[in-house]
Amino acid sequence: MKPSDLPLSQQLQAALHLQRQAHLAHPVPTLAERREHLLALRAMLREHQDPLCAAISADYGHRSTHETRLCEIAPAVDGIGHVLGQLRGWMKPQRRHVDLKSFPLARNRVVPQPLGVVGAIVPWNFPVNLSFVPLTYIFAAGNRAMVKMSENSRRLAALLIEKTPAYLPADQLQFFDESGGVGIEFSKLPFDHLLFTGSGTTGRSVMAAAAANLCPVTLELGGKSPAIVCDDFPLATAAERILFVKCLNAGQICTTVDHAWLPEAKIDAFVQLAKTIVPARYPTLASPDYTSIIDARSFERLLAAMEEARSRGATLVPLLPGPAWDAPARKIAPHIVLNAPADCALMQREIFGPILPLRGYRSLDEVVSSVNAGDRPLAIYPFSHDSARVQHLVDHVMSGGVSVNDALFHVAQHDLPFGGVGASGMGHYHGREGFETFSKLRPVFHQARFSAMKFMAPPYGRFADGLLKFLIK
């Protein structure tokens, strides 16, 4: 019987068994072997750029090829290069302090070692980036990996399943399509670590399933990340940068600007700027540079959220000429929303679309109080040249990450850790922290030829009393 003929749960278990046995046979790959795995990942990306872009666009209905190259392939390729340059240093054992009173002549070290087999559950919005970037750190740490793709990435999954064996064997890397029920069974596997990127609701379910195996998890979830424009910052620059990020991938980014806070007196001016900026970038809704909403359910959810806000007194401002949306193409024009009720869907849940509510404020304290009243966001985006104001926001509004005077781009820094906090996630990957997430930082104590602890063996007496007095003072 071929593995593909087995029931789903058995197929997944067989794949895990294959990789775990390979790990046990060779638990600590050398630097040269890890470099080989990373170079294979990079070669796969470089050699299949066009098919990758085509598959993702087909999964979306339409996705800008330039966006795929810019947001997915380029950072993944560049990130591999960064890790290749850092890996030798990351792998070196670390010397640690020894208590010389108790353990004279002994020594300590911390040795980063592979965990074994890591599972990754990948979302549809940046499926290449969010699989290959984690894989970079998983492989750098010396692990093997199984990757479960999204139900909205069926064409991409088929392509990756087809092409991967030419670059890496099944005992090193396998991709899996979501054909129904795969995610549930996948999250139940006893991995050595599990990475999940997606919604908070699904993340809770994944964490609960992993808990049955005491499997550690890294969760990258999302949240309502605000831009906070201060009155000293040039409004035109803020508008250009915020709208670039908000329109990218039609707003379907976990770290996009969910909503923007502006001084009350500057809201109208921001709207006028937006009416100029967005059409200059996307002349019509049919522009090939503008991406579709991923599926009909998401398309209808966004329209319903806008209609709810409008029916309750909000003003919707479409930013492109012509129709506000195109149902067959699943495209929604970028919109600004003014005066949205605080309890409407647009203000209560992550938007994940090209809709930008604006909120006015009179003092930054209002902004701090409002953001802190909700879940901790995945990011905050302060816009100010006043370093004291920026630091005040960094100190008083906790988030997963921060980009100052721009949005999103802290995620693109290879040497910064990336992750959420609270409801927006837990754990980190990217940078050295990514390497350490997928490593066991193993403490190793080396006793000296002569051990002072022999003097602490029973029966205790006056000498032990004196020695303890010396140690405790």
- Span 264-278, pLDDT tens digits: 999 999 999 999 999
* Mean pLDDT, residues 68-79 taken together: 98
More confident residue, 473 or 141: 141
Q: In terms of Cα–Cα distance, which of 245, 267, 264 is closest to 256?
A: 245
pLDDT exceeds 80 at position 363: yes
Q: In terms of Cα–Cα distance, which of 347, 350, 353, 344 is closest to 312?
A: 344
pLDDT exceeds 90 at position 9: no
Q: Which residue has the tokens 């938007």?
A: 351
Question: pLDDT band at 471, cuts 50/70/90?
Answer: confident
* 16, 189 contact by CB (below 8 A): yes
* Mean pLDDT, residues 450-461 taken together: 88
Q: What per-residue confidence (pLDDT) applies to 299?
A: 98
In this structure, which CATH number among 3.40.605.10, 3.40.50.800, 2.50.20.10, 3.40.50.300 belongs to the domain 3-221+425-442? 3.40.605.10
* Mean pLDDT, residues 69-93 taken together: 98
Tokens of 277: 């900026």
CATH 3.40.605.10 maps onto the chain at: 3-221+425-442
In this structure, which CATH number among 3.40.309.10, 3.30.450.20, 3.40.50.2000, 3.40.50.300 belongs to the domain 226-416? 3.40.309.10
Secondary structure percentages of the chain, helix, strand, coil, to 5: 45, 15, 35
pLDDT exceeds 60 at position 402: yes
pLDDT exceeds 70 at position 1: no
Distance CA(103)–CA(466), nearest Å, equals 17
Q: Which residue has the tokens 């007496």?
A: 461
* 54, 63 contact by CB (below 8 A): no
pLDDT exceeds 80 at position 5: no
* Mean pLDDT, residues 196-220 taken together: 96
Question: pLDDT band at 407, cuts 50/70/90?
Answer: very high
| pTM of this prediction exceeds 0.75 | yes
Q: What per-residue confidence (pLDDT) applies to 117?
A: 98
Q: What per-residue confidence (pLDDT) applies to 452?
A: 84
Is 53 one of the catalytic residues?
A: no
CATH 3.40.309.10 maps onto the chain at: 226-416
Q: What per-residue confidence (pLDDT) applies to 2?
A: 62
Question: pLDDT band at 368, cuts 50/70/90?
Answer: very high
Q: What per-residue confidence (pLDDT) applies to 4?
A: 65
Distance CA(45)–CA(236), nearest Å, equals 37
Instruction: Sort strands 173-176 and 226-229 into parallel, antiparallel or unpaired.
Output: unpaired
Active-site hit among 230, 247, 254, 344: 254
Active-site hit among 215, 220, 230, 344: 220
Q: Considering the chain, what percentage of its residues have pLDDT values greater than 70? A: 99
Is 220 one of the catalytic residues?
A: yes
Q: What per-residue confidence (pLDDT) applies to 298?
A: 98
More confident residue, 21 or 471: 21
Q: Which residue has the tokens 């699943």?
A: 330
Q: What per-residue confidence (pLDDT) applies to 455?
A: 85
Question: pLDDT band at 297, cuts 50/70/90?
Answer: very high
Radius of gyration of the chain (CA): 26
* Mean pLDDT, residues 199-209 taken together: 94
Question: pLDDT band at 454, cuts 50/70/90?
Answer: confident
* Mean pLDDT, residues 389-402 taken together: 98
pLDDT exceeds 80 at position 238: yes
Distances (CA, A) of 214 to 58, 114, 200, 208, 355: 38, 17, 20, 10, 40
pLDDT exceeds 60 at position 370: yes
Question: pLDDT band at 3, cuts 50/70/90?
Answer: low
Whole-number average pLDDT of the chain:
96
* Mean pLDDT, residues 40-53 taken together: 98
Instruction: Sort strands 193-197 and 401-402 into parallel, antiparallel or unpaired.
Output: unpaired
pLDDT exceeds 80 at position 399: yes
